[in-house]
Amino acid sequence: MRPKVAVFGGTFNPIHHGHLRLALDLVQQLGFDQMLLVPCHIPMHREDPSVASQRRARMVELAVASSPTLKLDTRELKRGSVSYSLDTLAELRQEQGREASISLIMGMDAYLGLPRWHRWLELLKYGHIVVISRPGYVMPEDGELAAFDREHRADAKVLEQAVAGRVVHLDIRALAISATEIRTLTAAGLSTRYLLPETVRRYIAEHGLYAARAPETTDKS
């Protein structure tokens, strides 16, 4: 059987049980040998995250510490430049060789923005795309993404049969948790318990991440 590698990129600001449960469901349902969690360093698509990439990566590391298949991959931090998924996939293809099936995992919210990604049409040269439904996000019926989707769509069996080139949609339960909610609760001084691993919660508290800043006092105030 060919090796099956999954690449799950994200801002992970912070990583939470929505990401982690999805990653585990995918390993169990699709039989990935490795699930690489890749924090982005400098996103091209959103404002600079409020927390440095080293800290976001450390939270991923804490979250997967006891997992045999979920692994932190820091290649986007080491690259140091704007984080393009195409570069990440191309590097992985080089490392894994021609026989490995590589899958780029993304939620439907991310997939809907795909036509704005760096050289997006080339992503399928290096791997498959696996799209997970997320409540509130639906595929458009027309436009370039819809056409791309129709052309490349296949069912999950293709991940065994081919090493790259197809788009697979999965209707896996996505927990209704977002990093935005965790940042908002923390800033409001409310509990985030049960939304993310305790080790990550402790790290956030120890480093005072996401806490509301005291209003700046100036000479005039």
Ligand X SMILES: Nc1ncnc2c1ncn2[C@@H]1O[C@H](COP(=O)(O)OP(=O)(O)OP(=O)(O)O)[C@@H](O)[C@H]1O
- Per DSSP, which regions of 11-100 are E strands? 34-39, 70-72
In 3D space, the residue among 62, 44, 64, 45 whose CA is nearest the CA of residue 54 turns out to be 62
Residue 169 is a binding residue for ligand X (CB under 6 A):
no
Are 102 and 21 in contact by the 8 Å Cβ rule? The answer is: no
Residue 121 DSSP symbol: G
Q: Which residue is nearest to ligand NCN (CB)?
A: 9
Least Å distance, CB 120 to ligand NCN, is 7
Task: Give the H/E segment covering residue 159.
Answer: helix 158-161
Residue 58-77 contact track with ligand X, rule CB under 6 A, x = bound:
--------------------
Q: Does position 200 bind ligand X by CB under 6 A?
A: no
Instruction: Determine, following the binding rule CB under 6 A, whether residue 34 of this chain makes contact with ligand X.
Output: no
Q: In degrees, to the nearest 5, what angle opens at C-alpha 49 toward C-alphas 45 and 52? A: 130
To the nearest whole angstrom, how small is the minimum distance from the Cβ of residue 184 to ligand X? 9
Interface with ligand NCN (CB under 6 A): 9-11, 38, 40, 43-46, 83-86, 110, 117-118
Q: Alpha-carbon distance 181 to 208, whole Å?
A: 17
Query: Among residue numbers 108 through 127, which ones bind ligand X (CB under 6 A)?
Result: 109-110
> Quick one: 37 or 163, whose CB is closer to ligand X?
37
